[in-house]
Amino acid sequence: MPRTSIARRKKTVPQPVAPSAAVLAVLGRFRVILQSNRQHYQNVQDSIGLGGSQLQALAIIAAQPSVGVSALAKAMLVRQPTASNLVEQLVRLGMVRRKKSGRDLRATELTITPKARTILARAPGPIVGILADAIASLSPTAMADLRKSLDAVLRAMKSRDERARYHPLADM
């Protein structure tokens, strides 16, 4: 059989396109937010020797005496295993005590120790983190607008990791 020639298609390589000035301006703001957040948590670590997630957990436990691990996870927007690991670290550091609940023996209640109170008093603020603090300071309308805009960005992204929603900002 005679060989037929098959025309080979040239692969088209997309040419890089420089982002517009408007896109660059928005990206610059994201970078400032992310770097400022990272620097805040580094300052926390340098100042008190605890990570931002550990500090946030202590603050929640201090504000809600006898809180359980599930409620702590919900308040921190993390998964329960993450909260359990944080609690375990804080127990080992002598910052948190666990005790069985008097109401439900399956549940564990968490309280902070005097050592933790001292750390909380020395901690640089805002304890919830600068990004959460800034978002909380927005008006309800501005917060709703921001949420809608971020939802639009997320929808437009070709790839995203929804699991990151439960990853502590202090660890990013």
Instruction: Classify domain 51-129 by CATH architecture.
Output: Orthogonal Bundle (1.10)
Give the pLDDT score at 132. 92
* Neighbouring residues of 154: CB distance < 8 A, sequence distance ≥ 6: 160
User: If you average pLDDT over residues 130-145, what whole number do you get?
Assistant: 96
Give the pLDDT score at 171. 80
Give the pLDDT score at 115. 96
User: If you average pLDDT over residues 7-22, what whole number do you get?
Assistant: 74
Please report which confidence band the pLDDT of residue 166 belongs to, taking 50, 70 and 90 as the band edges.
Answer: confident
**64-121 per-position pLDDT tens digit:** 988 999 999 999 999 999 999 999 999 999 999 998 777 766 778 999 999 999 999 9
The answer, yes or no, to whether residue 6 has pLDDT greater than 60, is no
The answer, yes or no, to whether residue 10 has pLDDT greater than 70, is no
* Neighbouring residues of 97: CB distance < 8 A, sequence distance ≥ 6: 91, 110, 111, 112, 113
- DSSP string for residues in the chain: -PPPP-PPPPPPPPPP-PPPHHHHHHHHHHHHHHHHHHHHHHHHHHHHSS-HHHHHHHHHHHHSTTB-HHHHHHHHT--HHHHHHHHHHHHHTTSEEEEE-SS-TT-EEEEE-HHHHHHHHH--S-TT-HHHHHHHTS-HHHHHHHHHHHHHHHHH-SS--GGGGGS-GGG-
Poorest-pLDDT segment among 2-16, 48-62, 97-111, 124-138: 2-16
**Are the CB atoms for 91 and 53 separated by under 8 Å?**
no
Please report which confidence band the pLDDT of residue 2 belongs to, taking 50, 70 and 90 as the band edges.
Answer: low
Domains of the chain: which residue ranges? 51-129
User: If you average pLDDT over residues 30-52, what whole number do you get?
Assistant: 93
Poorest-pLDDT segment among 16-25, 41-50, 148-157: 16-25
Mean pLDDT of the chain: 89
